[in-house]
Amino acid sequence: PSPRSFQPNEASEEALRCEIEELKRKDLALDQEIAQLLSEGYSLEELDKHISLLHEYNEIKDAGQMLLGKLAVIRGVTTKQLYPEYDLELSD
């Protein structure tokens, strides 16, 4: 069927409206959180840097998790069993 022949039904339109409203609520909540941080003296540059560092941390952590997983497979153990060997907390 061509895109023009697609007729969204009432349920899918309602689902989209709900999703749009939820996204609007999230956007508003984030705007309020940013305003709160700015009122506490944080700058946008500082927040951007912090977000960038969090992304970098998560990428490094993901790579470490992948390496631990591969090492666990090679050794025939679980990843959890490797944590003490590398002084890692399970919450890491």
Contact 90, 83 (CB under 8 A): yes
CA distance 30 to 43: 15
CA distance 77 to 50: 36
Structure tokens at 66: 């992948």
Confidence class of residue 13 from pLDDT cuts 50, 70 and 90?
confident
Summarize pLDDT for 26-78 with one digit per residue, the tens.
999 999 998 998 899 888 888 889 899 999 999 999 999 999 999 999 999 99
Contact 71, 65 (CB under 8 A): no
